[in-house]
């Protein structure tokens, strides 16, 4: 495989960090370069003094990170100096570099001491590829596979291979996985969907690729229309898209990773193979579909809540103004009352005639307001709110209804009737007449009936539609769910089906690579307790026999205890740790951030 075909995984700084000598502090040097009896014996068995020092240094580096290094003398001269001054006291050595054979012999001893193996493609390559193929089913992102490879090597006690080796293996695994999925799509995809995807890539279809990638930036009607356009154009393809992706058994991470390829390549998507185009576009269509539905739902909730708040503000202001107007109309109300004691009015006149004269002085609504004022009562705020909703007919029939018809609702035990009413409303609005004709009066509370029923007890169908819309936002906390939208679906939707779990529990636990989950809890706890007791005994014996300056032994009442020495206040304030940190200017920090992250 050519170098150009290798996938880029690590930045240059990350490569230097992993495959270069570690930078040890004085505390790190004391920890990693300390030798036990076996290590000390092997180090002293080397005749060349410089190789003895180099063995201790490379052994310490390998303990820090299991990578085979071949550093130059001047890269590690400070650590070599520490070794010949502290660990293996001696006169030091002249600058030198290890030959490849000397480096290999030293690492043979390092592997023996650490119980590790040197990486070998023939012995370990196939097993690592199989492991990464399993990991690729969960997430094909190269960085994830790289981390998985490091984890595998650590678990198998294998030294981390060279970066180029991991690049080749990961590139092959990713390529094989995508070729397998593309071949499946070639066999299973309908001709119509293939044609639609080709038109999408070439820009010859009814929905331009540029328009598909546009999304709503806010909740205004103009921006939400972008999501509605996407919804209408890809709606009829989604059943087949969902079916195809379900047969691929893609994880959420893989679905997201492959969908991001469309934005990553943009217009250069045409340069990819046809199979890769299909795979990326199908994942992108499902992700874009989810995104459109979520923004449609968020927009619907936003506008319903906004309308309700505006109706409340309008109602409070309207009631206040009505009260003020009623106070001003009290004098006119006196003229209305005077009609009942006016002797000039013929008593034989019909009441309707007198009523007409009264309404000529004050309108019916103003007269009602005066009556309420005289009784020290106010108009109902709820009534004014419904009057505001009546005035927003264009919003209800236009934007809100369009958004509402895109959503699918499911209810729980307490909201089954509401979910059924919402589904029935959608069916009627999607019908030929596009009119709401029936209503479920069981949903109406005693208070709401006053405003949703007319004098004859008939439902006010427009207000009933508003009523249904207003029930949705506050019930999306789990009482109502939107199964097609991740944000609003039930919590158990992400869990494995109970029947599938009972039948395949052991297999699923094995595939998780968390081996302890598959063990019997009682046996596992006993084993871990035994290992802990053994380790505590070994540590106690070591502290008892060795002269450790970092431990204080105490013997109160015949029992042996140990503790860490407490530092003085002066040591806490002026800790030597801070003296080891080099001083760095802010310009150097910004330059490093720009180099490693590309953030401007």
Decide: 216 and 281 in contact? Cβ < 8 Å. Answer: no
Query: Which of 201, 219, 223 is closest to 210 using CA atoms?
Result: 201
Query: What is the Cα–Cα distance from 437 to 428, expressed in whole angstroms?
Result: 7
End-to-end Cα distance, the chain: 35
Assigned token pair, 454:
């007319």
Q: Which residues pair with 481 in a beta bridge?
A: 410
Rounded to whole angstroms, how far apart are CA atoms 221 and 511?
47
Q: What is the CA radius of gyration of the chain?
A: 39
The contacts of residue 455 (CB under 8 Å, 6+ apart) are none
Predicted local distance difference test score (pLDDT) of residue 181: 93
* Predicted pLDDT of residue 296: 96
Beta partners for 410? Answer: 481
Please, which residues have CB within 8 angstroms of residue 543's CB and are 6 or more apart in sequence?
551, 553, 562
Buried b (16+ CB within 10 A) or exposed e, 422-447: bebbbeebeeeeeebeebbeebbeee
Dihedral angle of Cα 297, 301, 304, 310, to the nearest 10 degrees: -140
d(CA 182, CA 172): 15
pLDDT of residue 427: 93
What is the 3-class SS of 289-301, one letter each residue? HHHHHHHHHHHHH
Distance CA 42, CA 109 (A): 8
DSSP calls for 223-248: HHHHHHHHHHHHGGGHHHHHHHHHHH
Q: What is the pLDDT of residue 129?
A: 94
Q: What pLDDT is attached to residue 203?
A: 84
CB atoms within 10 A of CB 103: 18
Measured from the Cβ of residue 56, the count of other Cβ atoms closer than 10 Å reads 25
Threshold 0.75, pTM exceeds: no
Task: For strands 561-563 and 552-554, give the pairing.
Answer: antiparallel
**Digits of tens for pLDDT over the chain (600 positions)?**
333 467 889 989 899 999 999 989 888 888 899 888 889 999 989 888 889 999 999 999 999 999 999 999 888 999 999 998 888 888 878 888 889 999 999 999 999 999 999 999 999 999 999 999 988 988 889 999 999 999 999 989 999 999 999 999 999 999 999 999 999 999 999 999 999 999 998 888 888 888 888 888 999 999 999 999 999 999 999 999 999 999 988 888 899 999 999 988 888 888 999 999 999 999 999 999 999 999 999 999 999 999 999 999 988 887 777 666 556 566 666 656 655 656 666 666 676 666 676 666 667 766 666 565 555 555 567 888 888 999 999 999 999 999 999 999 999 888 999 999 999 999 999 987 888 888 888 898 888 888 888 878 889 999 999 999 999 999 998 899 999 998 898 887 777 777 878 888 888 777 666 778 878 889 999 999 999 999 888 877 777 776 566 666 666 666 666 666 665 555 555 666 666 667 777 877 887 787 777 665
C-alpha separations of 558 from 348, 538, 547, 555 in Å = 120, 20, 20, 6
Q: How far is CA 189 from the centre of its chain?
A: 30
Q: 3-state class of 481 per DSSP?
A: strand
- What pLDDT, on the 0 to 100 scale, is given for residue 335? 57
pLDDT at residue 337, rounded to an integer: 61
Three-class secondary structure of residue 89 per DSSP: coil
Handedness of CA 93, 99, 102, 104 (dihedral sign): positive
What SS3 state is found at 455?
Answer: coil
Q: Are 560 and 553 in contact (CB under 8 A)?
A: yes
Tokens of 293: 């539905």
Q: Shortest CA distance to 401 belongs to which of 362, 430, 371?
A: 430
In whole angstroms, what is the distance from residue 306 CA to residue 324 CA? 27
Residue 484 · residue 494 · CB < 8 Å: no
Total count of residues recorded for the chain? 600
Asked if 132 contacts 144 with a C-beta cutoff of 8 angstroms, the reply is: no
Question: How far is Cα 355 from Cα 47, in angstroms, rounded to an integer?
Answer: 125
């Amino acid at each position: 495989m050519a170098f150009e075909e290798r996938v880029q995984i690590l930045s240059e700084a990350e490569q230097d960090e992993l495959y270069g000598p570690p930078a040890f502090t004085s505390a790190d040097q004391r920890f990693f370069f300390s030798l036990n009896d076996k290590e000390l014996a092997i180090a002293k068995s080397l005749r060349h003094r410089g190789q003895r020092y180099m063995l201790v240094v490379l052994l310490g580096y390998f303990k820090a990170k299991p990578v085979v290094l071949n550093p130059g003398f001047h890269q590690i001269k400070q650590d070599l100096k520490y070794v010949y001054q502290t660990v293996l006291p001696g006169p030091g050595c002249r600058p030198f570099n290890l030959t490849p054979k000397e480096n290999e012999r030293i690492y043979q001893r390092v592997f023996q001491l650490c119980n590790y193996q040197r990486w070998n493609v023939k012995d370990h390559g196939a097993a690592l590829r199989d492991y990464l193929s399993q990991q690729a089913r969960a997430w094909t992102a190269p960085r994830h596979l790289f981390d998985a490879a490091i984890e595998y090597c650590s678990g198998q006690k294998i030294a981390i291979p060279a970066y180029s080796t991991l690049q080749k293996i990961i590139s092959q695994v990713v390529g094989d996985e995508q070729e397998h999925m593309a071949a499946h799509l070639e066999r299973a995809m309908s001709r119509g969907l293939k044609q639609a995807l080709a038109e999408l890539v070439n820009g010859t279809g009814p929905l331009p690729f540029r328009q598909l990638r546009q999304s709503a930036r806010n909740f205004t009607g103009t921006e939400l229309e972008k999501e509605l356009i996407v919804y209408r154009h890809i709606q009829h393809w989604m059943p087949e898209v969902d079916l195809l992706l379900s047969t691929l058994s893609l994880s959420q991470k893989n679905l997201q990773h492959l969908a991001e390829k469309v934005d990553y390549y943009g217009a250069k998507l045409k340069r990819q193979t046809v199979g890769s185009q299909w795979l990326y576009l199908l994942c992108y269509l499902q992700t874009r579909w989810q995104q459109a539905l979520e923004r449609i739902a968020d927009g619907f909730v936003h506008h319903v809540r906004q309308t309700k708040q505006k109706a409340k503000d309008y109602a409070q202001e309207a009631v206040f103004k009505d009260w003020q107007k009623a106070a001003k109309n009290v004098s006119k109300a006196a003229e209305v009352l005077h009609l009942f004691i006016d002797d000039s009015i013929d008593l034989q006149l019909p009441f309707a005639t007198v009523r007409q004269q009264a309404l000529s002085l004050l309108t019916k609504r103003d007269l009602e307001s005066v009556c309420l004022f005289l009784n020290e009562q106010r108009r109902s705020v709820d009534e004014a709110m419904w009057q505001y909703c009546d005035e927003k007919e264009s919003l209800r029939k236009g934007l809100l209804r369009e958004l509402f018809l895109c959503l699918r609702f499911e209810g729980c035990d307490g909201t089954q009737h509401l979910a059924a009413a919402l589904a029935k409303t959608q069916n009627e609005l999607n019908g030929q007449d596009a009119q709401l004709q029936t209503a479920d009066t069981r949903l109406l509370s005693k208070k709401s009936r006053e405003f949703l029923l007319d004098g004859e007890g008939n439902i006010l169908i427009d207000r009933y539609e508003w009523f249904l819309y207003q029930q949705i936002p506050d019930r999306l906390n789990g009482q109502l769910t939107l199964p097609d939208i991740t944000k609003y679906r039930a919590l158990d939707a992400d869990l494995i089906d109970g029947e599938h779990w009972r039948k395949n529990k052991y297999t699923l636990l094995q595939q998780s690579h968390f081996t302890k989950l598959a063990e019997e809890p009682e046996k596992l706890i006993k084993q871990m307790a035994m290992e802990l007791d053994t380790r505590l005994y070994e540590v106690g014996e070591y502290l008892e026999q060795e002269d450790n300056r970092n431990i204080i032994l105490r013997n109160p009442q015949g029992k042996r205890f140990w503790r860490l020495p407490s530092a003085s206040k002066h040591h806490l304030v002026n800790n030597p740790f801070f003296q080891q940190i080099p001083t760095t200017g802010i310009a150097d920090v910004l330059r490093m951030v720009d180099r490693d992250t590309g953030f401007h």
